[in-house]
A and B are shown apart, each in its own frame.
Chain A
Amino acid sequence: MKRKILKGTSLLLANVMLVSALAACGSSGDKEETKQPESTDAGKTETTTETTQPAMDTTPITYTMLAADPSPDWNQMQDDVGKQITAKTGITLKMDFATDANKVSLVAASGEYPDIISAKGSSNLFVDAGAVLELSDLIDKYGPNLKKVYGDYWNRLKWSTDDEGIYVLPTYDGVNNTYFDAGGAFTLQHQAVEEAGYPQIKTVKDYEKVIADYVAKHPTTADGQKTLGLSLLADDWRIMISVTNPAFQATGASDDGEIYIDPKTYQATFHYRRPEEKEYFRWLNHMNDIGLLDPESFVQKEDQYRSKIAQGRVVGVIDQKWGFQQAIDTLKKDGKLSATYGFYSVQLDDKTVDHTFEPTGFMGGYGIMISKDAKNPERIIQLLDYLASEEGQVLVNWGIEGKHYNVENGKRVIPQDVQDKKLNDASNFKKTTGIGLWNNYGPHYGDGVQDSTGNYFTTNFPEQIQNSYSDEDKKVLAAYGKTTWKDFFPSEKEFAAKPWGAAWNLPVPSDSDANIIYNKLTPIVRKRIPEIILSKPSEFDAKWDAFMAELDKNDVKKYEEEYTKYIQARVDLWSGK
């Protein structure tokens, strides 16, 4: 016991030093706000406030954790980063991953909770059940770095207008994230664009023409397989990514999941009911009619879809890059660089503006909760605080200095051999170093935010992204006079941030009318949209009207009304009204 106390006091000292060091650099580029007194004020009063702050206890302790996202490369914290975190905090995590969506629900119903819970969209189950701790006081006492990271967005941590407690520490979204690259949804093979002589690609007609010309000239690939014009994927939820969400993007609307939110009135609309989107689906119908749409689009499974793309047969893919990244990797490995894809901003016509990069601000949402049964919950807050500290964030993003990166002239540089391993042996690299395993477990800054030394917190920044482009990518970009795919899109600076963040991470209670109606609407959409796209153009209007009537019959209007209320409440909560 005595030894523990001794250890504790020496740590207290270390902690004071750490905190004061951070407080000193806290003001770098941060907006000063009254809500975060620690940035400059804390500098003066640190001696008084910090001594009252309890020391960090680093006696070894194990916590159980449930994570909703599987992490196949998780190495029981036996990797470099994991060991370092244990050394700093004394904490070892015993992870349990939810291999399917139902596991989180079952844990919630069981009444026996792991110490730390990351439940993504199911967080409300735990909060409603009173299974998790309200964290405001703990953060006040033990989380100076947490306060610093969330800073301006404190209101976005609050649960609801009725209960302004903090139950979830958002760890998925990075604070002040800037996107440096585009990854969807309208993509074209480099060889098609090149043959067409790098035409302007702005509307679906331009997009269609590139595909049509290429398919007409090359009905089969070099190895004799049929060239496919445009392939989509409708396997389960992927239909939303590849078939229905692009309708938002192509009609100049902001993607909020399954609903469109009017930026002025906050009126929610089930997005298929927007008249503009009907025209987008009419275009897909037309693509099918002229034989450019892969007839297997709505039948194929993900593996078939990927293998077609990996064979270099598909001229255009409408999907997010992460949806067919594996296929792109195969193409690269096989040296078929000209069959890899570029990402273009495509609109239905020239009247609308692509809202892909409309900023959401910090989205809050998915993150970490602490069970009411957890012993010493302050230790968990200290762990999260460590992860949120500058030291912690550099550790989880860059690794260990001298081993995974070097500092040259004040700049963090990843040595070439480490970079090669990271790119070519990604899974093994993650397993041994632990870099990339912690991104969703700690509060963090997003891409493009710089630390006190002027280096980026994350390893995604413009120079690095351009380095990751292949020669073929660079050739096409150069022909258009761009440096990244994002340059094709209107910049986020052209838009005001959405005051509700992103509606798709809004927790809608599971037994609410909105949720029950939504579950009736989903099967209708997933069935009718493919049917409509595959129908004869002459039948399109009739079928579309029938689809609309079916939605009406299933209370779509009530769903919209309910959702509008949720959005309104969130805007109020987040704006601190």
Chain B
Amino acid sequence: MEAITNHNKKPGGLKRNSFLYKMLQQKYLYLMSIPFVIWVFVFSYLPIWGWTMAFQKFRPARSFWDQDWVGFKHFVDLFSDDRFFLVMRNTLAMSFMGLVANFTIPILFAVLLNELRHQVFKRFVQTVSYLPHFVSWVVVAGIVTKMLSIDGGVVNQMLMGLNLIDKPIQFMGEPHYFWSIVTASDIWKEMGWTTIIYLAAITGIDPEQYEAARVDGAGRWRQIWHITLPGIRTTISILLIMSIGHLIQIGFEKQFLLGNPLVIDYSEVLDLYALNNGITQNRYSFGTAISIFNSVVSIILLFVANGIFKRVTKESIM
């Protein structure tokens, strides 16, 4: 950056610190960023125009001016639906459980992997652990359902074999187990993949710090506590802030594939609710209203999380 600014020194009438002056100096940088700005604008900002749909009684094939405007009717409908709050509870609960699990376990796993001295074994474990990431949810759901089945499912047979239970438990039919089953299968599938990021961050820590610590007499635990974990703190907080922003947008594949009528009160999530009540029922406007709500909540969550982190840890993404 310095090189460019120095090279482009121009003795014009513009003040050195004015915006325009800087812009002129950095014109190539600006030019280079233009395609990306256009890209962001086209794909992220233009579609926001579609939000107007939420305030209309949208009907296809009519021009914008021919639509009927209904104000906040769709939002009122949304907030007066009991089901919506139920769905909200499920979304936040599963999201939160996923957040906690997906932070503690992969970090722990990354730190443990890092401590392994046997390279071949370490690579092997790492590969095995991230392979499930490439298995689609359809297959994972099939495996989970089969394993938890009362009709010859492995888990029930094991529990019976250990005499822990007298008769098989209908895991998939018990509403209260649902959140845990989703979280557990999520960890199995994504743990290895998330670990990669932390492992990469750990690799970036200067080995001299470890050497210095060892000279000072720090053992394995001390090194983990005082060097490894602080070393990846930035990565952890950035990822955490971003996942908090996505708390409400957890998708619906898992819940859709693992759910069944008996647990529907615990399995229906916001995205599924939006799909069922929006596009599938051709209620485009209602669907848009849900999506606006979704985005607004996400933005608020993101800012709040960012603000808190800024205060507490002096680290933030904005």
Contacts and interface: CB of A to CB of B under 8 A. Distances in A.
A109 B60 contact: yes
Contacts of B89: none
Contacts of A301: 141-142, 145, 260
Nearest to A124: B282
How many of chain B's residues touch chain A, expressed as a range?
20 to 34
B187 to A, nearest CB: 22
A348 to B, nearest CB: 23
A519 B81 CA distance: 11
Interface string A512-523: 000110011001
A226 B151 contact: yes
Nearest to A100: B280
B172 interface: yes
A511 B151 contact: no
A571 interface: no
Given A102-B279, A303-B142, A527 B261 contact: yes
B275 interface: yes
B260 A125 contact: no
Given A298-B173, A299-B172, A304-B146, A527 B57 contact: no
B261 A298 contact: yes
Interface in B281-296: 281-284
A235 B281 CA distance: 20
A523 B279 contact: no
B119 to A, nearest CB: 41
Given A102-B275, A128-B59, A530 B145 contact: no
Interface string A97-120: 000011001101111000000000
A212 interface: no
B227 interface: no
B149 interface: yes
Nearest to A128: B59
Nearest to B284: A109
Contacts of A527: 261-262, 264-265
B155 interface: no
B150 interface: yes
B70 to A, nearest CB: 10
B32 interface: no
Contact of A106 (B83, B260, B279): B279
Interface in A117-137: 122, 125, 128-131
Interface string A200-233: 0000000000000000000000000010000000
Interface in B50-66: 57-62
Contacts of B284: 105, 109
B83 A520 contact: yes
B150 A295 contact: yes
B260 A234 contact: yes
Interface residues of A, number: 40
B56 to A, nearest CB: 11
A77 interface: no
A303 B149 CA distance: 13
A526 B261 contact: yes
B170 interface: yes
A530 B263 CA distance: 10
Interface string A282-324: 0000000000000110111101100010000000000000000
Interface in A534-565: 534
Contacts of B282: 105, 108, 122, 125, 510-511
A281 to B, nearest CB: 14
A111 B66 CA distance: 14
Contact of B260 (A111, A235, A520, A534): A235
Interface in A259-300: 295-296, 298-300
Interface string B247-266: 00000000000001110110
Contacts of B173: 298-299
Contacts of A515: 281
A181 interface: no
Given A108-B282, A234-B260, A295-B150, 19 more contacts: A102-B280, A108-B60, A108-B61, A111-B60, A125-B60, A125-B282, A129-B62, A239-B261, A295-B170, A296-B149, A296-B150, A299-B260, A300-B260, A301-B142, A304-B149, A510-B283, A511-B57, A511-B283, A526-B264
Interface of A: 101-102, 105-106, 108-111, 122, 125, 128-131, 226, 234-235, 239, 295-296, 298-301, 303-304, 308, 510-511, 515-516, 519-520, 523, 526-527, 529-531, 534
Top-8 shortest CB links A-B: A129-B61, A510-B282, A129-B60, A102-B279, A299-B172, A299-B173, A530-B261, A526-B261
